[in-house]
């Protein structure tokens, strides 16, 4: 068949030939001489029949070529494997000047010899049981179960929208005889940077640690300065705050190796849209010991019990490559000359010099915000969100989310996510921890702060979540004398008030949820997961009136979406106040350098460019890349 007869394909005119099927309008222009697809969209590579994962459909009626490899549309059994293999010779003369269609047939047998892709829903039991899963995949791909060598799940999520809960699975099935290797995620080949140019990284949270790793990859030597202790040493200070109510200002749930995310639930999802960046960070976590499941789960998490070892391994890698990691080194000043940073000063007076400083000190480094302000280095007030941490029995959340009395052995403890609008402001769940514990997260004596964590199995009896209200800059007006620190002072005042009201220990003000909505002090508060304990307080005393009002209305609205959520079995703890930084340290959009101070790279959550472990790690890498670029 002469391909000249064929019209050029384009998005608007997708018909190839009447005799032949209508092509997907997404397909690119066909070359007249030879119907190879646009090389930028390599639908069919003639040498090797790889399909563009983005362009799977050839024709709605004809078989669907699914992502990466070819799987026939199971509803169209015409082209069975057997048929194609048997008829390969007849079907596939070498396509010399063939059409896309003849090429398609030529390569069809190859496609069929490749792993089958699948995407379907199964019961939680089938998703958890390998034998059942193989059977389901076989049925879906219309092949025998015994022909399957290995089923690899690539993506897993829960669909809890209907009464009967389903698990969405997407993956590949490798047939017997096909090449299958269990691909292990490897770490990049980090070079030795002992004698390379030094870059200071202040803060060993996710932003600082991933910046350090990236610097090494780029041939630079990171000097990581962390005010807190190494990850294991932190544990003693966490015990002290939980049991004795003693807050160590350098070592606590927010400060110390691994940063604020170390003793957390380790949720690894982000609103960041760039899948490539996210996957890279997830792969690094896996390379440093996290379960590969985090690459598969729609909502991955690592867990408090697993994170410390991963953090320690990252530190050991940095040191093994010739980088430096120092603990108990609180940065208290910057060395500046003509608006150029030349180094930092430590609490003990030591000066460490470098032309480039990545400042990744997190949302709780109030002394750094104060230092910047005092030195007239540009910072801005930033809106954040503030509210309470609500704790329910996990069984109740399971019941609501899974519409069942008992979630059974195959479903994980249910999470929830809620957003409502009240009086023109968002009120939403934040950092929800299924099967988790509420932690005392103050960073200074004289304040109480809550947040939550979960172990990897999320097997605690309670579910907790921040329920926070979006703040606006105008809310900080009563603190305007603090200039860009107004939001921070607003935050501080609420934390200090809560501390006073609850008895000037690490106990938190607490109230039953229904009592709160009815403005009634709770006659008693049952034991909650918050170890330092609770004091029954009317929450309205902790917050400005407008916040209390929004939260009261918010809980009523939540009940409309999650029947049973509004209950006196749920206990509110106050405040949840460290949701994100109250300050932004402005930087140039392109160079990522501070707008005024050359060589200073505000980074991560504290600077206002991240909101969680993954986005902080991504921002750390970005800053390191820009540092390296500027040194070229
Ligand atoms: C209990 C808890 C649970 C959380 N759970 C999750 C979760 O499940 N998922 C998630 O995505 N996010 C979670 N977060 C938020 C997450 O931890 C942060 O978004 C993230 O850690 C921010 O990373 P960062 O590197 O920008 O800052 P940080 O992690 O805050 O790290 C900053 C580091 O800088 C150090 N530092 C501060 N000042 C100085 C100084 N002057 N000199 C030297 N060092 C200094 C601090 O000690 C700290 O180690 C949680 C936070 C907490 C507190």
E-assigned strand segments in 143-278: 148-159, 166-175, 198-202, 221-226
CB-ligand 1 contact for 225 (6 Å cutoff)? yes
CA distance 531 to 507: 8
| Predicted local distance difference test score (pLDDT) of residue 85 | 52
Residue nearest to atom 33 of ligand 1 (CA): 203
For the stretch 28-42, pLDDT in tens is 433 333 333 333 433
Q: Which fold has domain 116-175?
A: Alpha-Beta Plaits (3.30.70)
CA of 359 to the centre of ligand 1 (A): 13
The finding on whether 605 has its CB within 6 A of some atom of ligand 1 is yes
- 3-state secondary structure at position 368: helix
Domain 198-380+589-631 = CATH 3.40.50.12780: no
Higher pLDDT, 632 or 197: 197
Average pLDDT on 584-599 reads: 98
Instruction: State pLDDT tens for residues 384-428.
Output: 999 999 999 999 999 999 998 889 899 999 999 999 999 999 999
Residue 9 has pLDDT above 60, yes or no: no
Give CA torsion, residues 322, 324, 325, 328, to 10 deg: 150
pTM score:
0.84
Whether 466 is in the pocket of ligand 1, judged by its Cβ within 6 Å, is: no
Q: How far is the CA of 307 from the centre of ligand 1 (A)?
A: 13
Per-residue confidence (pLDDT) for residue 161, from 0 to 100: 86
Task: Tell which wins on pLDDT, 266 or 626.
Answer: 626
Backbone angles phi, psi at 363, to 5 degrees: -80, -10
pLDDT in the model for residue 206: 97
Region(s) of the chain under CATH 3.50.50.60:
198-380+589-631
Contact 44/100 with Cβ under 8 angstroms?
Answer: yes
CA pseudo-torsion sign 386, 388, 394, 400 = negative
Q: Give me ligand 1 centre to Cα 391, in Å.
A: 23
Mutate to test the pocket of ligand 1, among 344, 357, 361, 372 (most ligand atoms within 8 A of CB): 361
Give the distance (Å) from ligand 1 centre to CA of residue 259: 4
In percent, how much of the chain has pLDDT > 70? 81
Question: For residue 429, what are the CA distances in angstroms to 433, 587, 626?
Answer: 10, 30, 34
Share the mean pLDDT of the chain: 86
Pocket lining: 368 vs ligand 1, CB cutoff 6 Å:
yes
How many angstroms separate the alpha carbon of residue 361 from the centre of ligand 1? 8
**Residue 8 alpha carbon to ligand 1 centre in Å:** 55
- In the sheet that holds 600-602, the strands lie side by side as 324-327, 221-226, 198-202, 357-359, 600-602
* Rounded mean pLDDT, 568-585: 98
Compute the distance between CA of residue 599 and CA of residue 585 in angstroms, rounded to an integer: 14
Query: Does the pLDDT value for residue 77 go beyond 60?
Result: no
Q: Is the CB of 612 under 6 A from ligand 1?
A: yes
Separation of 159 CA from ligand 1 center, angstroms?
31
Q: Is the dihedral of CA 313, 457, 301, 136 positive or negative?
A: positive
Tell me, using a 6 A CB cutoff, whether residue 344 lines ligand 1: no
Which stretch of 142-146, 535-539, 558-562, 569-573 has the lowest confidence by average pLDDT?
142-146
Q: For ligand 1, atom 52, which residue shows the shortest CA distance?
A: 260
Q: Is the CB of 262 under 6 A from ligand 1?
A: no
User: Residue 80 Cα, ligand 1 centroid: separation in angstroms?
Assistant: 54
pLDDT of residue 115: 86
pLDDT tens string 158-174: 998 888 899 999 999 99
Tokens linked to 197: 């140019």
Residue nearest to atom 18 of ligand 1 (CA): 612
Greatest pairwise CA separation for the chain in angstroms: 88
Nearest C-alpha to atom 19 of ligand 1 is from which residue? 612
Q: Is the CB of 436 under 6 A from ligand 1?
A: no
Residue identifier of the C-alpha nearest atom 30 of ligand 1: 362
Cis amide linkage into residue 598, ω under 30° from 0? no
Q: Is the CB of 415 under 6 A from ligand 1?
A: no
Backbone angles phi, psi at 430, to 5 degrees: -140, 130
So what's the pLDDT on residue 66?
33
User: CB–CB of 226/203 below 8 Å?
Assistant: yes
Atom 10 of ligand 1: nearest residue by CA position? 612
**Beta bridge pairs of residue 422:** 425
Centre of ligand 1 to C-alpha 205, Å, is 5
Neighbours of 77 (CB within 10 A): 11
Higher pLDDT, 20 or 605: 605
Residue 616 to residue 208: CA distance in whole angstroms: 8
**Taking 60 as the threshold, does the pLDDT of residue 8 lie above it?**
no
CA of 342 to the centre of ligand 1 (A): 25
The residues of the chain that CATH labels 3.30.70 are 116-175
Q: Binning pLDDT at 50, 70 and 90, where does residue 114 land?
A: confident
Residue 348: partners with Cβ closer than 8 Å, 6 or more residues away: none
Ligand 1 atom at minimum distance from 604 CA:
26
Determine the distance separating the centroid of ligand 1 and the alpha carbon of 27, expressed in angstroms.
45
> SS3 breakdown of the chain: % helix, strand, coil, rounded to 5?
30, 20, 50
* Beta bridge mates, 6: none
Q: Is 602 in the pocket of ligand 1 (CB under 6 A)?
A: no
Termini Cα distance of the chain: 56
Q: Identify the three-state secondary structure at position 450.
A: strand
> Regarding predicted confidence, which is higher, 18 or 120?
120
**What residues form DSSP beta bridges with 37?**
30
The answer to whether the CB of 441 is under 6 A from ligand 1 is yes
Q: Is the CB of 442 under 6 A from ligand 1?
A: no
Indicate if ligand 1 lies below 6 Å from the C-beta of 222.
no
Atom of ligand 1 nearest to the CA of 330: 42
The whole-number average pLDDT for the span 571-592 is 98
Ligand 1 atom 2, closest CA: 264
DSSP code at position 114: S
Q: Which of 282, 327, 607, 612 to mutate to test the pocket of ligand 1 (most atoms within 8 A of CB)?
A: 612
Q: Which atom of ligand 1 is nearest to the CA of 266?
A: 8
Which stretch of 81-85, 206-210, 495-499 has the lowest confidence by average pLDDT?
A: 81-85
Question: Looking at per-residue confidence, does 437 or 55 come out higher?
Answer: 437
Dihedral sign (CA 229, 233, 235, 240): negative
- For residue 440, give Cα distances in angstroms to 266, 300, 444: 17, 24, 11
């Amino acid at each position: 068949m002469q391909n000249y007869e064929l019209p050029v394909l384009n998005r608007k005119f997708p018909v190839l030939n009447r005799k032949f099927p209508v092509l997907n309008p997404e397909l690119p222009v066909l070359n007249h001489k030879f119907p190879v697809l646009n090389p930028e969209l390599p639908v069919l590579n003639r040498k090797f029949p790889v399909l563009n994962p983005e362009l799977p459909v050839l024709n709605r009626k004809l078989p669907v070529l699914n992502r990466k490899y070819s799987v026939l549309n199971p509803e169209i059994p015409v082209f069975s494997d057997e048929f194609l293999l048997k008829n390969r010779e007849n079907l596939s003369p070498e396509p010399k000047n063939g059409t896309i269609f003849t090429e398609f047939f030529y390569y069809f047998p190859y496609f069929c010899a490749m792993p089958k892709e699948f995407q379907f829903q199964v019961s939680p039991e089938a998703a958890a049981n390998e034998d059942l899963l193989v059977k389901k995949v076989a049925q879906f791909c219309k092949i025998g179960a015994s022909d399957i060598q290995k089923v690899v799940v690539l993506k897993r999520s829960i669909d809890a929208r209907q009464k009967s809960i389903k698990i969405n699975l997407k993956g590949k099935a490798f047939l017997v005889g096909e090449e299958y290797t269990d691909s292990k995620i490897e770490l990049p080949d980090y070079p030795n940077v002992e004698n390379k140019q030094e870059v200071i990284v202040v803060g060993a949270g996710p932003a600082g640690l991933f910046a350090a790793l990236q610097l090494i990859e780029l041939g630079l030597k990171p000097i990581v300065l962390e005010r807190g202790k190494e990850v294991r040493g932190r544990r003693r200070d966490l015990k002290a705050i939980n049991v004795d109510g003693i807050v160590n200002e350098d070592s606590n749930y927010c400060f110390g190796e691994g940063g604020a995310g170390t003793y957390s639930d380790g949720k690894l999802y982000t609103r960041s849209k760039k899948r490539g960046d996210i996957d890279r960070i997830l792969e690094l976590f896996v390379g440093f010991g996290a379960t590969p499941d985090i690459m598969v789960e729609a909502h991955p998490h690592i867990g408090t019990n697993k994170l410390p070892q991963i953090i320690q391994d990252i530190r050991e890698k940095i040191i093994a490559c010739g980088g430096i990691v120092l603990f108990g080194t609180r940065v208290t000043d910057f060395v500046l000359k003509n608006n150029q940073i030349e180094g930092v000063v430590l609490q003990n007076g030591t000066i460490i010099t470098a032309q480039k400083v990545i400042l990744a000190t997190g949302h709780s480094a109030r002394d750094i915000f104060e230092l910047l302000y005092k030195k007239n280095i540009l910072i801005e007030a930033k809106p954040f969100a503030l509210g309470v941490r609500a704790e329910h029995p996990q069984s109740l959340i399971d019941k609501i989310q899974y519409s069942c009395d008992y979630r059974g052995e195959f479903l994980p403890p249910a999470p929830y996510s809620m957003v409502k609008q009240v009086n023109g402001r968002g009120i939403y769940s934040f950092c929800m921890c299924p099967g988790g514990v509420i932690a005392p997260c103050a960073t200074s004596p004289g304040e109480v702060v809550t947040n939550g964590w979960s172990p990897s199995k999320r097997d605690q009896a309670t579910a907790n979540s921040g329920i926070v209200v979006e703040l606006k800059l105008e809310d900080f007006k009563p603190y305007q004398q603090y200039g860009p620190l107004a939001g921070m002072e607003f935050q501080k005042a609420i934390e200090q008030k809560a501390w006073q009201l609850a008895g000037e220990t690490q106990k938190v003000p607490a109230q039953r949820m229904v009592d709160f909505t009815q403005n009634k002090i709770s006659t008693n508060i049952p034991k909650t997961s918050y170890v330092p304990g609770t004091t029954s307080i009317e929450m309205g005393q902790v917050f400005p009136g407008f916040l209390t009002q929004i939260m009261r209305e918010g809980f009523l609205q939540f009940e409309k979406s999650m029947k049973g959520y509004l209950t006196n079995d749920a206990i509110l703890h106050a405040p949840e106040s460290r949701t994100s930084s109250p300050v932004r340290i402005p930087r140039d959009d392109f160079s990522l350098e501070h707008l005024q101070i050359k060589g200073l790279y505000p980074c991560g959550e504290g600077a206002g460019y991240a909101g969680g472990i993954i986005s902080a790690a991504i921002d750390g890498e970005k800053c390191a890349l820009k540092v390296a670029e500027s040194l070229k």
